[in-house]
Amino acid sequence: MSKFTLPVRLALLVAGTTLPLIVFAVGLAYYNYQQDRSDATRRVLENVRSMRLVLDSEVQRMTGGLQVLALTNSLRNDDFPNFRRIALGFLDQYGKGGLVLISDRKGRLLFSSATEDTASQPLRGNLEIIEKVFATKTPQYSDLFTGSINQRQILTVEVPVIRDGEVVYDLCFSPPISIFQELLEKQRPDRRWTVSLLDGKGIVFARAPNPTETFGKQAPPSFNAEIFRSNEASLSTVSLDGTALAAAFTRSRVTSWTVAAGVAESSLIAPLWRNIAITSLIGGILLLIGLTFAVRMATTIARGEMLHNLLIDELNHRVKNTLALMQAIAVQTFRSASRDERTKFEGRLGALAEAHNLLSQEKWAGSELKDVIARALQPFLLNGPERIRMNGPAVPLSPRLAVVLSMIVHEIATNAAKYGALSNETGRVTLEWEVIPDTPKPRLRLIWTEIGGPPVTEPVQRGFGSRLIERSARDQLGGEATVDFLPRGVVCTVICTLDEAR
């Protein structure tokens, strides 16, 4: 073997072992990017659904208030001077900029909260929605239009005033647009997110960021076409600011308005390039080191045959170290978990975080049991708050009890949402608690009862959630937890000793 052939062969050996590792690491980075992008899209869709629920709740609160106004004696008797006092009280809860109007079918104003001189006011704008109120006898929600009274872009909530089964007036409320902007800002998960509210025609009436520059503008054509094609979807689009987004939207069945949100594609792809760069850099350094050692060792071997075997062993040792180091980098950098495991972990972490948030608000002086339970059950109350009934006395909890009970209630509710009464449309849950007088310390008994769920069968083996409930009650609360799989539904009972809330 010549002194030139040996270095070349060793260089090829090092390159042949290092380069596949680099390619494999890059492949793992790209796979993780695809997983992260999929998870991000799912989170965006979950967030727009949540924001839509909040928007619908706010609009239904407005509608309910107007329907109460429509039933007042003042309005029944056409006593508009007295009705003015009631209407102004309704407007006070929404701040400045709100307007209440009453008009007939032709749009002639009979009452305006802005002025007592309705005779000099022009006809109502958007006569089409007034006609819908009279025709359908149901509340209606407008798209963005220019009001004839204040000449501003407005949205309206309109309800019928009915006498003897017939609509006699249209009662209209134009809320301040700032209400929707504030609602959007509160629900925006992160400053890097772009979130928008659009009317039934795809016109922006609230947005973050850049609300002033985008108000009244049509959504981008590709996005606009998609929201008229389906009520809910995830897609890639470009925002009004020219930013590429991984976005999602959902349309409200109440108002036909659309909630849209997205995260910048650049924020998703940046970690991919960073991981590829780090992997390539480390791989290049390792390759360079390996080649350097190969050349140096081969040169040394060429100088003396007697050191040949020793140097070959040293080269093998260094190559093994290189492979081990690359394997460790891949495991640490690109480890991943299944979506179900990640969801469970995030849920438990979320329950723990909510308990800590509540304790932080109370300066870690303890908290009320009802507040702790409400925080833990908040995700399960969004779609049907009436399905979970809570009843029990005021019970102050120490920080330790608050955190542990929050985790226990979250686990019970999670099981109910997956397998029990909260997994269908008809199931209901009753959560009751009482304080048992005892010495030296009173005890708390909390009973979770399910009815109306799927048929109950006792599981063959207990999962992590069941073990967490039992062990937490026994080891951390000094009490016990029992789960009874009755034919009518699961009953879970937790008993623990109460500490003094500090």
Q: Tell me the three-class secondary structure of 218-245, residue by residue.
A: ECCHHHHHHHCCCCEEEEEEECCCCCEE
Segment 157-191, tens digit of pLDDT:
999 999 999 999 999 999 999 999 999 999 998 88
For 102, list phi and psi in degrees, rounded to 5.
-130, 130
- Sheet hosting strand 480-486, strand order edge to edge: 388-391, 428-436, 443-451, 489-497, 480-486
More confident residue, 148 or 273: 148
Cβ neighbours of residue 324 closer than 8 Å, sequence gap 6 or more: none
Tell me if the pTM is above 0.85: no
What pLDDT, in 10s, does the model give residues 298-312? 566 556 555 544 544
DSSP result, 250-297: EE-TTT--EEEEEEEHHHHHHHHHHHHHHHHHHHHHHHHHHHHHHHHH
As a whole number, mean pLDDT of residues 245-265 equals: 93
- CA distances to 30, 33, 222, 238, 382 from 271, rounded to whole Å, are 10, 8, 27, 21, 33
Who's near 206: CB < 8 A, 6+ residues apart? 177, 180, 181, 183, 184, 196, 197, 215
Q: Is the pLDDT assigned to residue 325 strictly greater than 50?
A: no
CA distance 138 to 172: 12
Cα–Cα distance, 95 to 336 (Å, whole number): 49
Count the alpha carbons within 13 Å of 456 in the hemisphere toward its beta carbon.
Answer: 21
Question: Which contiguous run of DSSP H or E holds residue 323?
Answer: helix 308-334
Lowest mean pLDDT among 2-11, 52-61, 100-109, 398-407: 2-11
Is pLDDT larger for residue 383 or for residue 78?
78
Question: How far is residue 443's CA from residue 325's CA, in Å, rounded to a whole number?
Answer: 55
Among 14-28, 59-73, 416-430, the range with the most confident prediction by mean pLDDT is 59-73
What's the pLDDT band for 231 if we cut at 50, 70, 90?
very high
Residue 204's nearest CA partner among 159, 249, 168 is 249
Joined tokens for residue 132:
């819908």
| Per-residue pLDDT at 120 | 86
pLDDT at 359 over 60: no
* Mean per-residue pLDDT of the chain: 80
Residue that is written with structure tokens 């006498």 in the block: 163
| Mean pLDDT score, 101-129 | 92
Q: Is the peptide bond before 440 cis (omega within 30 degrees of 0)?
A: yes
Separation between Cα atoms, residue 379 and residue 386, nearest integer Å: 13
Average of per-residue pLDDT across 243-253: 93
- Indicate the length of the chain as a whole number: 502
Residues 6+ apart with CB under 8 A from 29: 272, 275, 276, 279, 333, 334
DSSP-based three-state secondary structure for 237: strand
Could you tell me which residue, 130 or 477, shows the higher pLDDT?
Answer: 130
The pLDDT, as a whole number, for residue 278 is 63
Q: Which residues contact 290 (CB under 8 A, 6 or more apart)?
A: 14, 15, 17, 18, 318, 319, 322
pLDDT at 14: 55
Task: Identify the residue with better confidence: 107 or 283.
Answer: 107
User: How high is the pLDDT of residue 55?
Assistant: 94
Query: Is residue 276 very low, low, confident or very high in pLDDT (cuts 50, 70, 90)?
Result: low
As given in the structure block, the two tokens for residue 497 are: 């000793």
Please work out, in degrees rounded to the nearest 5, the angle formed at the alpha carbon of residue 263 by the alpha carbons of 261 and 269: 160
459, two tokens: 């599981």
Residue 305, judged by CB atoms within 10 A of its CB (0-12, 13-18, 19+), counts as: exposed
Average pLDDT estimate for 459-465: 72
Q: Comparing C-alpha atoms, which of 124, 105, 104 is closest to residue 114?
A: 124
Cα(251)–Cα(263) distance, integer angstroms: 19
Amino acid at 84: R
